[in-house]
Amino acid sequence: MRIVFMGTPTAAVTSLAALLDDGHDIAAVYTQPDRPSGRGNKITFPPVKEFALGHGIQVMQPEKIRTPEAIGEFRALAADVAVVVAYGRILPEAYLTAFPHGAINVHFSLLPKYRGAAPVNWAIVDRERETGVTSMQMDAGLDTGAILLQRSTTIGEEETSIELMARLADLGAEVLIETIRRIDTIEPIPQNDTLSTLAPIMKRSDGLIDWGMTADEIAARVRGFQPFPGTYSSLGGLKLTVRRAVPVRGFQGRPGEVLSAAGDSLVIGCGSETALGILELQLEGKRPVLARDFLNGSKLSVGDRLG
């Protein structure tokens, strides 16, 4: 099948590679424009572009996709279907109807749950036990199109959003290949909008720790808000990022209060008389360290407060 692929991050590369392995003709790859990143603001290519160039695939990176010229260029590719995996832009109707089979999206949740930009992160933050992947016939709404195929998976108790995303990328590629192979026989199922939830794009402020939350809630945010926005508090006027943490028992104190600060044990009081054991953290301007190394180099004591 002749396919136009639209995607940007590493998670989308897995699906693109699977399409090539399955023998499909990739007419072109659409991805976000190159952006500066890092301390030196060096221009970097999106992962999908890197992969496409390495396989001799035409790469398109339009700054604007709604112009008549951009739409005409897209239609001229004369593909059978567009496949969209984390492209990062809302496509206008003209793109969704340009090809005979329209546009198929691989979405990293069990729709209609977690419509939006960050379904993996919010599923962990909300302490869901299960998530999955949906292939969907795209329409003009935000992840509202008819469901084609779905596959579920359990979320690990200590799994981070980075780890879960890697697993879902593999699962998504499998679902995509099956969807394409069965595209003429699958009966689309309309979504039940009354069951929908939203997974909005994350803001930096989402990562600020409210120590009045329970330890379970904070630990879920530590796992879910990776790599952005991170989960952070403050110590001595400096940003303190919590990179790994687990709820612990046997401690009780005020929210934000240091309840243990010796050896490997760094425990902070949380809401509802719970406590959080911090395993790895990073003080502003320093490298990430384990709790023991942090405590060896700090004057943090029981009774001190974070935040």
CATH of the domain at 23: 3.40.50.170
Is the Cβ–Cβ distance between 290 and 280 less than 8 Å?
Answer: yes
Is the pLDDT at 70 greater than 80, yes or no? yes
Instruction: Supply the range of the domain harboring residue 144.
Output: 2-195
Tell me how far apart the alpha carbons of residues 159 and 219 are, in angstroms, rounded to a whole number. 11
The answer to whether the predicted template modeling score (pTM) of the entire model surpasses 0.85 is yes
Q: Are residues 148 and 44 in the same domain?
A: yes
Once rounded to an integer, what is the mean pLDDT over residues 89-103?
97
**Nearest by Cα to 15 from 148, 174, 179, 183:** 174
DSSP state for residue 151 in the 8-state scheme: E
Phi-psi domain of 88 (left: phi exceeds 0; alpha: psi -120 through 50; beta: other)? left
Phi, psi of 44 (to 5 degrees): -125, 150
As a whole number of angstroms, the distance between CA 37 and CA 92 comes to 28
162 and 208 part of one domain: no
- Mean pLDDT across the stretch 296-302? 92
Position 97 in a domain? yes
173-219 pLDDT, tens per residue? 999 999 999 999 999 999 999 999 999 999 999 999 999 999 999 99
Asked if residue 265 is part of any domain, the answer here is yes
- For 157, the token pair is 């108790």
**Residues 191, 249: one domain?**
no
| 3-state SS assignment for residue 298 | coil
Domains in the chain: how many in total? 2
Are 108 and 235 in the same domain?
no
What pLDDT digit, counting tens, does each position of 207-246 carry?
999 999 999 999 999 999 999 999 999 999 999 999 999 9
Regarding whether 231 and 169 lie in a shared domain, the answer is: no
